[in-house]
Structure 1
Amino acid sequence: MIRVERPGVQTTLQDAGRHARALGVPAGGAADPVAWRLANALVGNPPDAAALECTLVGPDLHFLEGALVALCGAPFGARLDGQPFGRGRAVRVQAGQTLSLGTTARGLRAVLAVRGGLEGEVAFGSRATDLKSGFGGLAGRALQRDDVLRRACPLPDVAPPRARLSPGLGTPLGPRHVLRVLPTAEASPALLRALVGPPLKVSAQADRMGVRLDHRVEVQADPGRVSLPNVPGAVQVPPDGRPILLLPDAGTHGGYAAPLVVASVDRPRLGQLRPGDTLHFVQVDPAWAHAALRTQETELRRAEGALTWWYNRP
């Protein structure tokens, strides 16, 4: 239903990710899951629908069939047949039209959802593209020119809701970030002093596996340290002392010390970090982290519920 005329810097098919970490397979999935959920909700998709994740510069997509689409996340300069295309709402695209996603001055990634979801290779129960392993999505790779995207499942053609999402629902964008973190058992007083509080700069070394920071801390080598499980949001400190923030495609275990982990409520922000952004780590306790996540989830589910009602109303 869609032909790719220009693929963009890195456009991949993503969904909620996979549940196969016990097999050594990264969870993967959308780097900004909030943008992914909201875009899918805007077009009335089921919660597991795959959508396009666009990074820094988006694609040009020629629609061979009409479709209902929604764009959420970073403010990409999107145009439909040369006319401005709005974010945060469902928009009908006619057969023969071309949607062009330019670049963004803030944040890094946007999600484009199509009503009915997008078809892709299923691996370990998910269509999410794992670029390093080469599976999921479109043969485990980013979009290429002349690729053809197909709808995953037909859904009734309905009028889109006139509502526009509140900007406060989306993931906060840069260039300055405050990330709430929790210390782990590996958090020494020296590492906490070095990481929590000072301004940290995002380096150009960034991908879906992790984001390295232009900051150096003193690390005590531990030759006896064993490889331990990794989770997205962990803050690793390798031997060179330059911290790495782990993103969804990071490996499931590793040998670097991980003294901090970003609270779940702030993990979507990791997908929007771009080189040159500044961030501060602020330490919180588990009770605060749980309460903040419950508040975020309540707001997201309220929006999803209202949009579900619209598409399923009598």
Structure 2
Amino acid sequence: MEVLRPGLHTTVQDAGRRARALGVPGGGAADGTARRLANALVGNPGAAPGLELTLLGPALRFDAPALISLCGAPFAATLDGAPLPLWRAVAVAAGQTLDVRGAPAGVRAFLAVRGGLLGQEVFGSCATDLRSGFGGLAGRALRAGDRLIWGPALPAPAPRAVPAPGLHTPVGPHHRLRVRPTPDLTPALAASLCGPPFTVSAQADRMGARLSEAVPAPHEPARPSVPNVPGLLQLPPDGRPIVLLPDAGTHGGYPTPLVVIQADHPRLAQLRPGDRVQFEEVSLAAARHALLAQERALRQAETALRHWYARP
């Protein structure tokens, strides 16, 4: 397919890379739920590379027949002028144009193509790392005139099944993020962070989302660097918290009093400037239960769609 319009920030992403011990961010699609379901809908493995769309989508002309799905934030999309349904597989004929515009809520969506997109693989992943300049399409976002290809796959009709709406990643403008405390959390910080809502500022990208309201930050001039993971809440000296996303560095020296539980990581991908965020501390047992329930539901959907494509 040819890129007629690249969109605001469209990159090739997959499930990310396991190279954090080398100082390389994991990366990958920020909304893992959208990635897995979009791939399942077209018969791909859950980690297959596709396109991550951000705020304003691309226009793509298909030069060959394809089976696609678009999952995530509710982007307005058309195929040759006709509305394209989200969260389902859609057959595309050679010569048709997919035009994805903006979304009224949320930030990101994932476009999967049956066969999976082909890209530059680094450390076992095709995820685009913009700051390092590798992975995906030469380590950069899409540009007009780029051509993308996908791997071989047997032709298949689009399944009529669609994921249950309860599996969709919630979008804003209000977010309740469940968190666990770290040793950096003090009673004073707990009262400041797990109370009134925060506002997502305009300083938000794949590294992290800065919140507008400040809290009293502890003064630790000789603090050593510690490991970072997506979902950590950093407190820089100005007291404005930063929620880390997939492209965040692997270590840092700021206090990190809270970490968003893994089940809520897909919601981090949909934090839009102006959205309101509240943190709610939960028990370790509750965090595990939420993750197991989410994983069970996703695997059931993936298995059902896999059986569709496996039938004779």
TM range (shorter): over 0.9
> Match of 1:148, SS?
coil
Q: Give 1:35's aligned residue.
A: 34
Count of residue pairs brought into register by the alignment = 312
The letter of the residue matching 1:27 is G
Asked if the contact 2:89/2:159 (under 8 Å) is kept, the reply is yes
3-state DSSP of counterpart to 1:205: strand
Q: Partner residue of 1:250?
A: 248
1:85 match: 84
Q: Measure the CA separation in 2 of the matches of 1:6 and 1:146.
A: 8
Indicate the residue corresponding to 1:108 in structure 2. 107
SS in 2 for 1:37: helix
- Equivalent-residue separation in structure 2 for 1:136 and 1:198 (angstroms): 40
Mapping of residues 198-209 of structure 1, within 5 Å: 198-209=196-207
Question: For structure 1, which segment, 268-277 or 160-169, has the greater mean C-alpha deviation from structure 2 after superposition?
Answer: 160-169
Tell whether 2:153 aligns with 1:155. Answer: yes
Please list the CA deviations of residues 217-267 of structure 1 after superposition, one character each: whole Å capped at 9, or x if unmatched: 111211221000000000000001000000000000000000000000001
**Cα deviation per residue 1:2-22 (whole Å; 9 max; x = unaligned)?**
000000000000000000000
For the residue of structure 1 that corresponds to 2:195, the secondary structure is: coil
The correspondence for 2:284, drawn from 286, 297, 305, is 286
Name the residue aligned to 2:120: 121
What is the DSSP-based 3-state SS (H/G/I as helix, E as strand, rest coil) of the residue aligned with 2:12?
strand
Per the alignment, in what secondary structure is the counterpart of residue 199 of structure 2? strand
> How far apart in 1 are the matches of 2:217 and 2:84?
48
Once residues 290 and 45 of structure 2 are traced to their aligned partners in structure 1, the CA distance between those partners, rounded to angstroms, is 25
Partner of 1:167: 165
2:84 partner letter: F
Cα distance between partner residues in 2 of 1:220 and 1:289: 27
**Identity, % of aligned pairs?**
61
State how 1:1-314 maps to structure 2 within 5 Å.
2-151=1-150, 153-314=151-312
Conservation of the 8 A alpha-carbon contact between 2:37 and 2:46: no
Distance 1:302 1:241 in 2: 42
Q: How far, CA to CA, are the matches of 1:48 and 1:71 in structure 2?
A: 15
Tell me, in whole angstroms, the C-alpha distance in 2 between the residues paired with 1:78 and 1:300.
Answer: 25
Counterpart secondary structure, 1:257? coil
The CA deviation at 1:285 is 1.0
Q: Would you identify which runs of 4 or more consecutive aligned residues in structure 1 move more than 6 Å?
A: none
Query: Within 1, Cα distance between the matches of 2:82 and 2:217?
Result: 53
- 2:68 maps to a residue whose letter is V
CA contact (8 A) 2:36 2:47 kept: no
Distance in structure 2 (CA, Å) of the matches to 1:48 and 1:34: 11
Contact 2:35/2:46 (CA < 8 Å) preserved in 1? no
Shift of 1:43: 0.1
C-alpha contact (below 8 Å) 2:7/2:56 kept by paired residues: yes
What amino acid does structure 1 have at the position aligned with 2:296?
T
TM-score (norm 2): 0.99
Residue type of the partner of 2:29?
A
State the distance in 2 between where 1:77 and 1:131 align: 26
CA distance in 2, matches of 1:61, 1:168: 30
For 1:177 and 1:263, locate their aligned partners in 2 and report how far apart those are by CA, in whole Å: 14
**Counterpart amino acid of 1:177?**
H
1:313, distance to aligned residue in structure 2 (A): 1.2
Secondary structure of the corresponding residue to residue 39 of structure 1: helix
Q: Extract unaligned runs of 5+ from structure 1.
A: none
CA shift for structure 1 position 197: 1.9
Q: Which runs of 5+ in 2 are unaligned?
A: none
The Cα of 1:185 is off from its aligned counterpart by 0.6
**Cα deviations by residue, 1:133-191 (Å, 9 ceiling, x for unpaired):** 1110001100000000011x211101111112221111111000000000001101111
Asked if structure 1 preserves the Cα contact closer than 8 Å seen for 2:35 and 2:47, the reply is: no
Using the TM superposition, give the Cα deviation of residue 47 of structure 1 relative to its aligned residue in structure 2, in angstroms: 2.7
Structure 1 letter corresponding to 2:122: A
Distance 1:189 1:146 in 2: 54
The one-letter amino acid paired with 2:34 is A
3-state secondary structure, aligned to 1:258: coil
